Amino acid sequence: MLTPQAKLELEKQHYRIVGSHSAVKTCGWTKSMIRGQGGCYKLKFYGIMSNQCMQMTTSISCANRCTFCWRGYKAPVSKEWAWQVDDPQYILENSIEQHLKLLAGFGGSSKANKRSFAASKEVKHVALSLTGEPITYPKMNELVHKFHEQGISTFIVTNAQYPEAVKSLAPITQLYLSIDAPTKELLKEVDQPLFPDFWERTNQCLDLLAQKKQRTCIRLTIIKGINDKHLKEYAVLIKKGDPDFLEIKSYMFVGESRERLKEENMPLHEEIIEFTKALLKHLPEYSLVTEHIPSRVVMLAKNKFKKKDGWYTWIDFDKFKRLALSRKYFSADDYLLKTPQTGLSGKGTLDEMPVEKKKKFLERYSKYKINEETEERDLD
């Protein structure tokens, strides 16, 4: 159980605690889309409507102290489940209630787009990430089933420390593994894991990811000067996990990570593209599909997702719901939609640019400097 002081601290940071181990917090992109100012990269990559997305976790605690995490080192950590186990129906109802309460202020706001706000009252997607390690909740399969029954799609992000939980997880819309470093030594430095066998756990999770039939994704968070090398070793891990998609994202200089890292550790978007192109030389079975510049992230997909008329990385949510509830066998190929917008902005790499063009480019990107709003919307 959270101490009253820890709960107060989290509430000051705009988290709403649900029961004894879950929490919701409005994603900055949800607010952005309600204001009519655009959605997150998962809208562009997969078709998730940010105004209808609920960002939450089912475990505030996790088993790492990642250097790049926005959480402070006072945030709860534990190897084992340390809470009572709340009822899935309670978590579902109360999370949605808290999420909608957090959005209620948009009702009287002149900044809100009325249609977007009206739509936000119907939650259609849950991002189980936010903070901590959601996959450790012992009744996760019951909870995701309840979400699917309500027509809510499910993304879960795990830091690859709980192979048993990955193994027993029922089909969800998209399962993520965060792979934060390419070697055992670097992973220890970057994630500061509690488990002494953290490397074996990561490798087991990768093996298990490869066996999943529904959509899978590996996310790399690149910290300039720290985990941006050893491309061959990254490729070995990625091949082992055999994900459908790869997201390569810049570390964001936000929250308490600012006390551990420097702003220079945050790669520019073009540096992410350079890294990705170099990594792709070791991964011929993948191609770069699209990018989202404000979040400094690119998405790669297995070549099989490219059909004759273009890329298919979006999700057919209605079909997913029917398939998930049928409890029959289905795979990632069964709920695809065409990706409307693909390709890069075509700026080339920084090194390839003429000096003047490079200067203009860097000026343009300076508007994406981190501020309170970007801080809030890059938690997921």
CB of 27 to ligand SF4, least distance (A): 3
Nearer to ligand SF4, 53 or 300 (CB): 53
Q: Are 142 and 71 in contact (CB under 8 A)?
A: no
Site for ligand SF4 in 52-81 (CB under 6 A): 53, 55
CB of 45 to ligand SF4, least distance (A): 10
CB of 247 to ligand SF4, least distance (A): 11
Residues 6+ apart with CB under 8 A from 111: 35
CB of 109 to ligand SF4, least distance (A): 18
Piece in contact with ligand SF4 (CB under 6 A), picked from 40-48, 181-189, 305-313, 326-334: 40-48
CB of 369 to ligand SF4, least distance (A): 19
- Is 127 a binding residue for ligand SF4 by CB under 6 A? The answer is yes
Nearer to ligand SF4, 148 or 201 (CB): 148
Q: Which of 352, 336, 356 is nearest to 344 (CA)?
A: 352
Which residue reads 């191609």 in tokens?
Answer: 287
- Please count the residues of this chain forming the interface with ligand SF4, following the rule CB under 6 A: 11
Piece in contact with ligand SF4 (CB under 6 A), picked from 48-56, 197-205, 233-241, 282-290: 48-56
Q: What is the 3-state secondary structure (H, E, C) of 76-99?
A: CECCCCCCCCCCHHHHHHHHHHHH
Nearer to ligand SF4, 121 or 307 (CB): 121
Piece in contact with ligand SF4 (CB under 6 A), picked from 22-30, 188-196, 204-212, 345-353: 22-30
Bridge partner list, 301: 245, 287
- Is 250 a binding residue for ligand SF4 by CB under 6 A? The answer is no
- Is 34 a binding residue for ligand SF4 by CB under 6 A? The answer is no
CB of 64 to ligand SF4, least distance (A): 20
Nearer to ligand SF4, 180 or 380 (CB): 380
Helix axes 184-191, 198-211, angle to 10 degrees: 100
In the list 17, 27, 172, 300, the residue contacting ligand SF4 (rule: CB under 6 A) is 27
In the list 21, 42, 124, 292, the residue contacting ligand SF4 (rule: CB under 6 A) is 42
339 HSE (CA, 13 A, CB side): 24
- Is 24 a binding residue for ligand SF4 by CB under 6 A? The answer is no
Provide the 3-class DSSP secondary structure of residue 119: helix
Look at the chain and count its residues.
380
Q: What is the 3-state secondary structure (H, E, C) of 189-251?
A: HHHCCCCCCHHHHHHHHHHHHHHCCCEEEEEEEECCCCCCCCHHHHHHHHHHHCCCEEEEEEC
In the list 15, 29, 137, 198, the residue contacting ligand SF4 (rule: CB under 6 A) is 29
Nearer to ligand SF4, 47 or 193 (CB): 47
- Is 317 a binding residue for ligand SF4 by CB under 6 A? The answer is no
Nearer to ligand SF4, 31 or 212 (CB): 31
Provide the 3-class DSSP secondary structure of residue 163: helix
In the list 10, 18, 23, 40, the residue contacting ligand SF4 (rule: CB under 6 A) is 40
DSSP secondary structure string for all residues of 245-303: EEEEEE----GGGGGTS-GGGS--HHHHHHHHHHHHTT-TTEEEEEEETTTTEEEEEEG
Provide the 3-class DSSP secondary structure of residue 174: strand
Taking the C-alpha atoms of residue 27 and residue 147, their distance in angstroms, rounded to an integer, is 19
Bridge partner list, 218: 177, 246
DSSP secondary structure string for all residues of 13-29: TT-EEETTTEEE---HH
Q: Which of 218, 235, 248, 237 is nearest to 279 (CA)?
A: 235
- Is 380 a binding residue for ligand SF4 by CB under 6 A? The answer is yes
- Is 48 a binding residue for ligand SF4 by CB under 6 A? The answer is yes
Q: What are the residues binding ligand SF4 (CB under 6 A)?
A: 27, 29-30, 40, 42, 48, 50, 53, 55, 127, 380
